Structure formats: C-alpha cells, structure tokens
Structure 1
Amino acid sequence: MTSADETPLRVGVFGLLGSGNLGNDGSLEAVLGYLRAEHPRAVVDALCGGPEAVTARFKIPATRLHWYRGEYRTASRAGAIAGKGLGKLVDVFRTAAWVRRHDVVIVPGMGVLEATLPLRPWGFPYSLFLLCASGRLLRTPVALVGVGAAEIGNRPTRALVRWSARLAAYRSYRDTQSRDAMRAMGVDTARDEVHPDLAFALPTPTPRASGPAGSPGPVCVGVMDFHGGNDDRARADEIYRRYLDGTIRFVRALVEEGRPVRLLTGDECDASVVAAILDAVGSPLVTAAEPASLADLMSEMAAADAVVAVRYHNLICALKTGTPVLALSYAAKSDALMERMGLGAYCHPAREVDADRLLEQFRDLEKHAAQLRRTLTERNRTAAQQLARQFTALTMTLFPAPGHAHAHAGAHTHARQEAP
C-alpha cells in the first residue's frame, strides 16, 4: 500500500485485450479487481489489441499494441507487406517507450506461451518478446501471471516464446502442464508456481430462476470457429467440417428430445458457427445468446441443467457456476482443467466429434449431475483459496515496501531471472 504523499505506482497491463475474446478480457478483469482492492492508488493503463474497447469497459487509458493498423490482415500487396515490415521495427521503439513509463508490467493470464490455435511467430509472440526484452533492458519487471503454455514445434515461435519467458521477472501458470511445457522448452521453472486460472477469481452471478418444475432445463452449447491448431493447417477445413457436423447432429438430437438449447460464443469470430447451427437445425428450441463478458456467460450457464463447450474459458464459466459440463477438448489444457475440477471423465475430442458417443457421455453427465455439482462446490472453494495465495505472492514480488519501489523491483528482477 502507498501513503498519501508517495508517488503512485505505475502499472501496465499487456495482451490481446479488447479484441473480442471474452476469456482474455476476463483475465484482465480479475487482475484489475486485485489491483483495485489491494493497490487502489496504482495508476493503470494498457498496451493491447483493442484499446477503445478496453477503455470503454474498464475505464483505463489504453494504447494500440501495433503501430501498423493492418497487422492481423493478410498482406498480399507490396504496400501492405512493407507496412507490416516497417511496423515491426517501429514497434520495437513504441514498446520500449511504453514499458519505460511503468514501474511494473503485468500480462494477465491468457495462453500467451502456447500455439494451440493458429499463430504466426511475427504476430503476438514477437510482441511479447519485445515486451519482456524491454522490461529486462529498462529494469521494469514484467510478470506473466497465471498464463497458459504448451510445447511449440515451430522453431521461430518456440524461440520467441522461450526467450519471453526467460526474460520475465515473474511467472506463474494456470496448470501444471503449462509449467512442464516451459521446462521442456528450456526455461528454469524451479521457482514458478501453479494456480487456477485467473477467471476463477471473478464473482459468480446469482443463478436465474429455473423453468417450470418437471420440464427439461436448457442445455448450453458453447461453440467455436475451430479449425485445429498450428500443426493442423493442411487439414483445417476438414477439422472444421467434422466439428461442425458433429455439433449439429448433437444439437438436433437434443431438440428431438424436446430439450431447449442455448448457443454460446467466446469470441466474435464464433458468430458464423452459431449461424450455421441455427440454419441447419431450424428449431425454435435452439436460441443464441450474445454474451459480452464472462459474467454474461456465467449467467447463462447458471440457469442451465448442463453445458457442452469447446472454448477454454467457456469451460471455466460452467465449472465456476457449478454446472455439470462436458468438454469438447481441442488441447491438453482443457483435459487438465477438467481433471483438476473432478470432471476428467467428461472430455470428448473436438477434432473427432462423434455425435452418438457425445450423446452417451452427455446422458451419463446428467445422470451424475447432483454428485458433480457437489464436487464442483468443493473444487471451486479450493480454487478461490489458491488464487488468494497467488495474489499475495504477486504483491510480495512486484509491490515492495514503500519508498524503495523501483530499486527493489529492479534488484528482484535480476535475482529472479536466469541469465540470458
């Protein structure tokens, strides 16, 4: 805590925030909640993908992550290619200048050390490397808090991610598998800790009233514009078609049983999948929500009998509300999350959706719903306690005693990091 006559700490938050991904923004919301509760005088701003959205929702100043506005559009013309190349150079100086203005920079959660979805090395991995290198050079601690990681095959991406992690002053992970992946990629993780995903620190909304007694409750189906990961580019269309066809068959089977189905998204790009399912099934029992936050997702799921979901943070929302959930798993992180929360038996591969098998698993999920809800109550209590310890550790590491903030932060940075 700072006293009234001291200069407030300047804290930066960094990532693909405000870009339409509800999970990323949920992680930011959790960290901002921690900062406002424990360090209310800290001055916070963001370097992020969607600065206007971040400022509008979270009421903090925000700067665009990339100088070149067409960063995430495919560059085919010479002008666009030149613009992207120049942007990479300009971003070196922009990132360093932004880091210099802060006492601490936090990367709040997200899968910043993984490539389980399609990812180019000179996109976000390059931006993260610039951040962490600037932090080391300018003696501003960069903290990777509750992040996800996975082993990466692509050599340029792997190198950028490995050096980003090595240059960070603080690292913690959202599951043991993430820490193991960084160790396998050559990062010393001996002092890195594992805590539940930051989204488990968000408040749980009050459940909405259920429907008439005896009537089947709604089933929430979280969807995703899923084409596989970095290693699946050659068969991306096949993976998408198999996933979509299997999901449509599953939803249609529920409708034939008279079950209301509520389609949920986790990113703006998922809207096309919702439209395809609505068109294929064509039933008034199938409706679509338009969630704008993880709180909206949790409100929907709290009113459901059960959930089937793909996106990682959709799974977290269901688990946090205590609603039995079946994971359409596209990465090991989903399997690890479900195992940790006591639902490891309820995973189904998103790349090979078998509607008949999925229905069998779903019926078994509902059969054991009461028991699973009790398990989730216990696991959520444990997760809350573990996250409280995470935030205590973060305060001790990044927010030293008043009067010595910058000097102590710099000293701890060099004690904490391995040599380059």
Structure 2
Amino acid sequence: MRIGLFGRLGSGNIGNDATLEAVLAYLKAERPDAVLDSLCSGPERVTERYGVPAAQLGWLAGSQPARGPKPIRLAVSLGRIVAGSVIDTWRIMSWVRRHDVVVIPGMGVLETTLPQRPWELPWSQFVMSLSGKLFGVKVAFVSVGANVIRERVNGWLLSRSARLAYYRSFRDEQSLGAAQKMRMAGLSDQVYPDLVFALPTLPIAPAGDSVGVGVMAFPGGDEDRAHAEQIQEEYTAKMTQFVERLLADGRRVRLLIGDEADEAVVLDVQSRVQSAHVVYEPFTSTDELMNQLGTVDTVIGTRFHTVLFGLKLGKPTIAIGYGRKHLAVMEQFGVEEWFQDIRELDAERLYKQFAALQGERVRVVGTIDERLRMVRGRLDEQFADLTAVLFGGRS
C-alpha cells in the first residue's frame, strides 16, 4: 500500500509538523508495511527529520520577485502564476494517482484566518482532492480546522476540495459547523480533537517561575493587506507592554514561537524590552517546544499550536486568538474565560487575566487534566475510525 502525506509540512510551522508526527506514528503502528512519501512545502526537512521521501509542493516556491518597471513585474508575475498553476496541476495529479491513500494530517487547511492566495494552497488542495476522485484514491482530511470563508474564490476551491474527499473529520465543533455552512461536510462527519494531543509527552524539566509568552507574525487576514504593517506593529507594541508589566511584577519571561516567521517578532520584542530576565532560545521541533514549555509555570500563546501545547502539558494557559479555533479549544478544555481576541487585544486586561489565573491555578490545572483524559480517548476513537474507513473497507 502506498500512502501519501500532503500539505504545508516541513515549512517551519511547528504545529503543522506536530500533526504530521502524530499521523506518522499512527500509520507506522497500523500499517508498518505501507510505503510512505509526501508532497509538501518543506521536502528537505520532512525527509531529514522523519525519513519520509518528499517532493516540493508548489512549483513557484522560492522563486525570486520579478524586477523592472511595474507593468513588466505584473506581466512576469501573472505569467509565473499561470505557468505554475499548470505545472502544479500536472505534478499533483501524477503524484496522487501513484497512491492508494492520501492523508492531510490536521492543520487549518479549510481556514482563511491568515492570508493566502487562491493559486497557492487552495488550488493545490482542490487539484489533489479532484485527482483522488478521478483515480479512485482515498483522500482523508483528518482532524482539520475550518471556518466560514468570505473570499469567493478561496471559498469555492477549499469547499470543493473538502467535498471531493473520501473521509473528513474536524478538530472542533466550530470547524464542523463552519464546514456545514460552507457545504464542505457530510452528515457522517465527526469531531475529534487536534492531533497534537495524540503525541507522547516526553519527560520534561520541572517548571520554574517564568512565564511563557508566545508571539507571532500577525499581519491580519486577506482583507487587511493594505494595513498589514500597522496591524503587526500594534500587536507587537501590546505584547511588549505586557512583557514589561510582567517584568515590573518581578516575573521572568521566556519568549516562544510557533513558526519560523515569528522569530523576527520575538527579536523585536526582546530588543524593545532589553532585560536579562527575558529569554529567547531558538527551536524548530515539537520536542524542543515541549522542553521549553516545561520550564514555565504559565503559558500565554498567540500561535494556535503554542496554545495547544500549553494545554497538552497541563499548563494554565491564556489564548490570544486570531480565529474562532482558539476559543473553540479553550471551550473544549473548560477554560474559555482565559481568552482574548487579537483584534481587541488589551495589554492591561491581559495582565489582569494573568494575575487572576494565578489565584485559580489548582482549579484550572485540575480541569485541564480531566479534559486531557477525555481528549486522548476521543483520539483513540479517531484512529480506530480512520483504520476502518481507509484500511478496513468501510465507506
């Protein structure tokens, strides 16, 4: 059996790679005889880190911007997009037809909470699902995120890619509800927790008294492109203000990221604060993220999977959400009061939430631990369901 893994994997996003790790562990346990490979954003990293042969997703990946007068740049860019779409279509279809099963392991692949162009992942994903339908390949979207998509072209491509799939499951009720509104979901589709919670928790160092503060590159959504720099600056300034408030209270701070793109923001915050009590140590893997989170006593996260890993490790966690998914996972764990929307972020309110959370630590940790047991049980059910559908003949 040939099984392919598809998506923004190996691209520097730690959450995406975490869901890949969870599915790889499942496949190697369930089908150790299978031949695995991947069509992904970072093939070199996927092959080096996981030993899975991989090819580049996106013919235009890494190409240099066009130069010259604006009309020439526009013409060259348009030509590249058209040529890239044609080449990618042929490459994706050729890749899919060589497999029995193609798995999209988690991720927010049916979301548009962060900017993306129609000719990027939406087109590639549509071609992948259509190819599966044409060639009789079982395409499975496993515990994915979804939202109601306002951009017409992205919405059409992503909804069709989901509807053409052989199997779909969603990582929260909000995602399933959005998928139903977009007519992406079928009547038998189920909600299972994010695949991150299926990863083993490695032994970690005892927690100290520092606070883990996760920041991210946040330019807004597709509709905010004209104001992206201003949005990023306002967010960075507010997170800097919050870190300074923690320092004034005598706390130590460990800065965290969830994607390589976030490092510039971390370094910006660190340079603005200029304190020996603010630490940032680069990391690129899920194990390294868990090790660093293990040293803190509280997590404040923006990047979605920083929040997930905080909860996974049983840490009192505050989520700064750029999508409904943040609130959904906090509700799933019974701690939804510890949440702020990133577009209404208030640094002083965030500090008050942090201070209140310290007084509720015992209750909050107990609630998280109880929900973690339920989440792990549901993921066992997810993998049993996946086995029956993909390998047991059930449709």
Q: Normalising by structure 1, report the TM-score.
A: 0.90
2:376 to 378, 384, 390: 384
Going from structure 1 to structure 2, the CA distance change for 1:304 and 1:313 (only over 3 Å counts) comes to same
Shift of 1:355: 1.3
Distance 1:327 1:201 in 2: 21
Structure 1 segment 123-162 matched on structure 2, within 5 A: 123-162=120-159
Are 2:191 and 1:176 equivalent residues in the alignment?
A: no
Q: Residue type of the partner of 1:199?
A: V
Equivalent residue number for residue 359 of structure 1: 351
1:363 shift after superposition: 0.5
Where structure 1 has 5 or more consecutive residues not aligned to the other structure, the ranges are 1-8, 212-216, 401-407
Which residue number corresponds to residue 339 of structure 1?
331
Query: 1:134-175 CA distances to partner (integer Å, 9 max, x unpaired)?
Result: 000001010000100001011100100111011000000001
Asked if 1:193 corresponds to 2:190, the answer is yes
In structure 2, how many angstroms separate the alpha carbons of the residues matched to 1:154 and 1:72? 27
Question: Between Structure 1 and Structure 2, how many residues are aligned?
Answer: 390
Q: Does 1:256 align with 2:253?
A: no
Return the letter of the residue paired with 1:66. G
Tell me the distance in 2 between the aligned counterparts of 1:342 and 1:196.
14
The counterpart of 1:58, out of the listed 32, 50, 57, is 50
Q: How far 1:258 moved relative to its partner?
A: 1.8
Match among 265, 273, 277 for residue 281 of structure 1: 273
Shift of 1:72: 9.0
Contact 1:201 / 1:387 at 8 angstroms: preserved in 2? yes
Q: Which 5+ residue runs of structure 2 have no aligned equivalent?
A: 68-72
SS at match of 2:118: coil
Distance in 1 of aligned mates of 2:39 and 2:183: 28
Q: Deviations over 1:245-293 (max 9, x none)?
A: 1100110111122211000011111111111111110000001021212
Partner of 1:214: none
Quickly say closer, same or farther: Cα 1:119–1:71, change in 2 above 3 A: farther
Give me the TM-score of the superposition, normalised by structure 2. Answer: 0.95
Is the aligned partner of 1:10 residue 2:7? no
Aligned to 1:202: 199
SS in 2 for 1:398: helix
Contact kept? 2:176, 2:185, Cα under 8 Å: no
Amino acid at match of 1:121: P
Question: For the residues of structure 2 that align with 1:121 and 1:88, how far apart are their CA atoms?
Answer: 10
Q: Is 1:104 matched with 2:101?
A: yes
Bigger shift: residues 312-321 or 81-90: 81-90
1:228: which partner in 2? 220
Residue deviations 1:349-376, cap 9 Å, x none?
2122211111110101111111111111
Percent of residue pairs bearing the same amino acid type: 44
Amino acid in the other structure paired with 1:36: K
Which residue is 1:328 aligned to?
320
Show the counterpart of 1:403: none
Cα distance in 1 between the residues matched to 2:354 and 2:39:
41
For residues 210 and 187 of structure 1, the distance between their equivalents in structure 2, rounded to whole angstroms, comes to 42
Contact 2:81 2:119 in 1 (8 A): no
Is the 1:242–1:351 Cα contact (8 Å) retained in structure 2?
no
Distance 1:293 1:315 in 2: 16
CA-to-partner distance for each residue in 1:105-152, whole Å, 9 max, x for gaps? 000001000100011111100000000000000010100001000010
* Partner Cα separation in structure 2 for residue 299 and residue 334 of structure 1: 22
What CA distance in whole angstroms lies between the structure 2 residues aligned with 1:187 and 1:65?
23
Contact kept, 8 Å, 1:243 with 1:352, in 2: the verdict is: no
Tell me, in whole angstroms, the C-alpha distance in 2 between the residues paired with 1:347 and 1:38.
Answer: 37
Aligned 1:213-224 pairs, distance under 5 A: 217-224=209-216
Superposed CA deviations along residues 322-379 of structure 1, whole A, max 9, x for unmatched, are 0001111111100010111111000012122211111110101111111111111111
Stretch moving more, 153-162 or 70-79: 70-79
Alignment partner of 2:296: what SS?
Answer: coil
Distance 2:188 2:364 in 1: 34
Q: Which residue of 2 aligns with 1:3?
A: none
1:86 aligns with 2:83: yes
Aligned to 1:305, what secondary structure does the other structure show?
A: strand
